[in-house]
Each structure stands twice: as structure tokens, then as C-alpha cells.
Amino acid sequence: MQLFLGPRTEALEREWAAKCGVKHAIAVASGTDSLLLPLLAADMGPGDEVITVGWTFIATLEAIVHAGARPVIVDVDPETLTMDFDQLAAAVTPRTRAIIPVHIYGHPADMGPIMELATEHGLFVLEDAAQAHGAMYAGRAVGGLGHGGSFSFYVTKNLSAYGEGGMVTTNNDELADGVRLLRNHGRTAKSEHVVVGFNSRLHELQAAVLLVKLQRMDQWNARRREIAARYQERLGDLPIRLPVERSECNHVYHIYGTRTPDRDRLKEVLDEAEIGYSLHYPKPAHRQPAMAPWGLDRCETPVSDQAARQILGLPIHPFLSDAQIDHVCDVLAEALGG
């Protein structure tokens, strides 16, 4: 059996490219690598600025820093928690080279205006779709909207490997060739290395797992949407802020992120009822100590900071029953006086 870059990886790449409506899908070892390698292949480096959001997992910022560029943080839209376009437009400078919009929690960023701005200024757009497998924007799959797309197959994702994995998507032949080169030690032949690359090959075992799960992803995403609709119906009249779905978007609800100033009390209620929850994110990525050397802790992001104090992710995965969802809603309704 071939351990890396074998027939299962090739099959997964073909199927994922078709799923995203792109020419190329390049499998890599992790979601973090699926951010870093396309930045490097697009020649990002010292002196370049990459605009993104702090309301994301820190890997988004790590990739920019590891590429040698400088992360520039803008705040998020108060409804969707995706990139605020007005702040993005104001943040563009002569040093800006790229934009990384994050399709947070499974809801796509507003890619239409973002791509128009990028075209106007000649900027590279890399979609961070780590939480948005199968999500749609204006009838098109995420990962096929920017110049490149980044996916994580970490074990918690809507489409997950048996551990780690990632995928880069693009319609750009040169970018695809660059990522392929970088993921395999810069190798063009067995004993020929033309650039300094990385060991970022997806294991064939992971590809095999992903190929099986990919056949069920749409069904699982549909179930997530059913669960989200049940939450909306049962919790809609309670004093808790529920996720929104813009009309042009298809949300895949990787996380069902509610918001409430009463979060700490609700956490206690859920703990007592032995109901799981998530806090994505109690401290935004740009507020982490690791980002202080780049001055990101001084960024003004009131929407992200408020969300960090209020976010409470309710249970959502395709194997939950209606009865379990109703139990969560009953516990919250009692706690919130509904």
C-alpha cells in the first residue's frame, strides 16, 4: 500500500474539487498547512500585510505570521460574526497583499463585495473554510469563491479525518502547482528538490476515511440544519441571541453559536444538567499572548470582544435525536423563564 500521495488521495482530491466546483484540490497534512502553503505559493512574505479577522481559531493568524507577513485585524459583522466589509475596505493600504475571510461556524462571509474589493486593488483572497464544508454563497460552494480555499479535516469538523488533514482548493494552475510542490519537500523527482518545502502529505489512511465520509456529508449537513431549525423554533422567543442565516447563504452549522450576557449562569445550568456546550471563542485569536508581538492585542474589535463574553455553543451534530434537542431547549427555557 502506498502511504502518501496514492490513489485514495488522488480520488479524494478529484471528488473534493468537484464538490467545490474548482479545477484543483490539493490534499495536505492539516488545516493549518492548507492556510500556510497557499500564502507561500502566492509569494506572501516580509513587508506584506494580510487582512483577516480575530474571530477565528489562531491557525488563521499563525499561517500569516509563518509566511513572514503581518496580520491586520478587522472586526466582524454583529449579526453573522464574519468579516465586516466596511472595516475591511478601510484597512487596505499600499502594503496589503491578501485577504483571508473566515466562514465562521459554517456561515459564509460576504464574498461578493470582498472579491470586488480584491479585484479593484489586485489582492489575493484565501477563504478560510475550515468550519464550512458544504456551505454555499449565492449558489456557489465555499472554497471556490476566492483565489484559493482552505479546509480542515480535523476530527471535530463537519467532514473529519481520523485525526488531521486539510485541503487547498483553487482554479489557478500556478497556485495549485506551488502548493503541490511545497507539500512534498519541494520535490519534482525522487532526488530533485527545487524549493525548500514541507512534509505536508495527507496519509492514504486519512484519505480513505474521508472518501467514505464524503458520501454522507450532505446528509449530515442537512441534519445539522434540521437541528438548527428546531433550536430556532423552540428558543426563538427566549432572551437569547440565536444564529442568523443570510438569504444568499446556506449555513452548515459547524457550531450553533448563541449569545447571551447571562452566559456564566447558563453554563452552570447546562453543567448541572450534564449537557455539553462549547465556547468558540472565550478569547479571540488576536487577544492571545502569542499575538502580542505584532500589536494585535491593541486592535479595537468591540463586536469580537463582546461575542467572546457572550458566546455559548449548543450541542449540534448529526447524530443527536429530536428528543435530545428538545431536552436542551427545555432546560434553557426553564433557566431563561420561557
Structural domains in the chain, CATH included, are: 7-214 (3.40.640.10), 217-336 (3.90.1150.10)
Lookup result for grid cell 471556490: 144
Mean pLDDT, rounded, of the chain: 97
Proportion of the chain above pLDDT 70, given as a percent = 99
Kindly give the interhelix angle for 263-272 and 322-336, rounded to the nearest 10 degrees. Answer: 130
Kindly give the interhelix angle for 7-20 and 204-214, rounded to the nearest 10 degrees. Answer: 40
Give the pLDDT mean for 152-173: 97
Give the pLDDT mean for 226-249: 97
pLDDT of residue 337: 87
Model confidence pLDDT, tens digit, residues 30-82: 999 999 999 999 999 999 999 999 999 999 999 999 999 999 999 999 999 99
Nine-digit cell at 36?
A: 500556510
Is the pLDDT assigned to residue 277 strictly greater than 70?
A: yes
Is the pLDDT assigned to residue 332 strictly greater than 70?
A: yes
Phi-psi region of 139 (alpha: psi -120 to 50; beta: other; left: phi over 0): left
Contact 40, 178 (CB under 8 A): yes
pLDDT of residue 243: 98
Give the pLDDT mean for 285-312: 97
Rounded Cα distance, 251 and 232, in Å: 13
Is the pLDDT assigned to residue 154 strictly greater than 80?
A: yes
In the 8-state DSSP scheme, what is residue 2? -
Three-state SS string over 287-316 comes to HCHHHHHHCHHHCCCHHHHHHHHHEEEECC
pLDDT of residue 338: 66
Proportion of the chain above pLDDT 90, given as a percent = 97
pLDDT of residue 2: 84
Max intra-chain CA distance, the chain: 69
Tell me how far apart the terminal alpha carbons of the chain are, to the nearest angstrom: 58
Helix (H, G, I), strand (E, B) or coil at 98: strand
pLDDT of residue 1: 66
Specify which residues 73 forms β-bridges with. Answer: 52
Model confidence pLDDT, tens digit, residues 78-99: 999 999 999 999 999 999 999 9
pLDDT of residue 189: 87
pLDDT of residue 3: 86
Nine-digit cell at 43?
A: 509569494
